[in-house]
Structure 1
């Protein structure tokens, strides 16, 4: 993998139609289905089939890949029916439910409208319960700071070999990473894979990928906008 010190890049093509993917990589449906929508503001502008609040900076695309060694909540079936909920102070989105599997592959994609780069983003796994309330299966925080630091450099870079590592983030007491996470230039996009260790449970990890999506007319990550 190419070292960032010898890599330069030009970011292109980040703005695509933003949708929420459901049904395990199946049919797409507009963002906001099944959650609190993109926003509550009265003044909105329309972009690529998504209504975006006037104070939105951009969109955070989150690909929820899979879970590992999740805890058993259904003692009778010796399994769980897990799904993931991702929340900010104003939004809530969730994945599909995978039945009877403690190592689920969600293959799901959700998007969050970002207004404040310092807003916390929390990921929680739940066990779907037919009769009672859904049981929590662990929580982790998605730390955007290292990714945003790398993404802000994209306009200053000119050429970048595919697969170049912009930054490596190690697990620490200030994040919920289970192992090293790399921020990559990959197929014309800046992405970061994160394997998150769930808190407040005996075991469980969730693999996700994040990507910032600029919206024309929004401030984005440019402080001089």
Structure 2
């Protein structure tokens, strides 16, 4: 009976994930494998806070790494998780508009962003990096704003040496969700910024916020 209940809850989570995380096949395949072995799944869900969807929107004034341009892509890391966007050919102002989704168990870990130039016959060239934490974003979510006007600003985050923000970042209520728009300035490179948008996703059966 217990296994039947666990399997049913696992199936419900899988149905939710299959419609939510189309952009992250590696995460989905890991979750699907847990249906066969429900005990590790239950342990993981007890520690999972939720999911963080990062929309990598665009890059601006990125460094030139080829003759006159670059073939940039973005890598996002948090703990042992690693995700990356597609490559945009021959552009220093690329438009990715791509969603990458991290599972969050320890919200104190920083999120690291790195941009690379894709090369065919040599190692990919570095095009700068940045780092930020999601503490202020999660604090705004815990406010549980309801019934407020669309576009209401829940919080603002100022640029500092710790967050790599290029300008003030607003955390706002939009269409029933709390989102954070941010522009990060890349370090260890001549120039370049990357625009991101954060959105939180609650998972049924997880510990939650």
TM superposition score normalised by structure 1: 0.77
Whole-Å Cα distance in 2 between the matches of residues 210 and 130 of structure 1? 32
Map of 1:192 onto structure 2: 180
Judged with a 3 Å threshold, the aligned counterparts in structure 2 of structure 1 residues 158 and 116 are, in CA distance, closer, same or farther, namely: same
Between the aligned partners of 2:31 and 2:56, the Cα distance in structure 1 is: 19
| Residue of structure 2 aligned with 1:212, choices 197, 200, 204 | 200
Structure 1 segments (4+ residues) deviating >6 Å: 38-42
Relative to structure 1, the CA distance from residue 200 to residue 20 in structure 2 (aligned partners, 3 Å threshold; closer, same or farther) is farther
2:72 and 2:89 in contact (8 A); partners too: yes
- Aligned-residue offset at 1:158: 3.4
CA shift, 1:39, in A, is 11
User: Does the alignment pair 1:131 with 2:133?
Assistant: no
Q: CA RMSD in A?
A: 2.4
Q: Give, in angstroms, the shift of residue 44 of structure 1.
A: 2.0
Q: 1:186, CA displacement in angstroms? A: 0.3
CA separation of 1:210/1:63 partners in 2, compared to 1, >3 Å: closer, same or farther? same
Contact 2:73 2:115 in 1 (8 A): yes
2:82 and 2:150 map into 1 onto residues whose CA distance is 33
Matched ranges for 1:27-38 at <5 A? 30=25, 32=27
Change (3 A) 1:142 1:173: closer
Q: Deviations over 1:151-191 (max 9, x none)?
A: 1111xx43110000001111122211001110000011100
Larger radius of gyration: 2
Which residue among 43, 53, 64 is the counterpart of 2:44? 53
| 2:62 aligned partner | 70
The alpha-carbon distance between structure 1 residues 181 and 82, as it changes in their structure 2 partners (threshold 3 A), is same
Q: For 1:66, what is the secondary structure of its paired residue?
A: strand
Among candidates 122, 138, 141, match of residue 151 of structure 1:
141
**2: distance between equivalents of 1:196 and 1:32?**
26
Q: Given that residues 117 and 125 in structure 2 are in contact (C-alpha distance below 8 angstroms), is that contact kept between their aligned partners in structure 1?
A: yes
Q: Over residues 108-136 of structure 1, what are the superposed CA-to-partner deviations in whole Å (9 max), with x where a residue is unaligned?
A: 00100111011121010010010111111
Residue 102 of structure 2 corresponds to: 112
Counterpart of 1:44 in 2: which secondary structure?
helix
Q: How many residue pairs were aligned?
A: 188
| Deviation digits for residues 53-90 of structure 1 (CA, Å, limit 9, x no counterpart) | 3332110000000000000011x2x1000000000111
Secondary structure class of the residue paired with 1:53: helix
Match of 1:44 in 2: 41
In structure 2, relative to structure 1, the CA distance for the partners of 1:142 and 1:131 (3 Å cut) is same
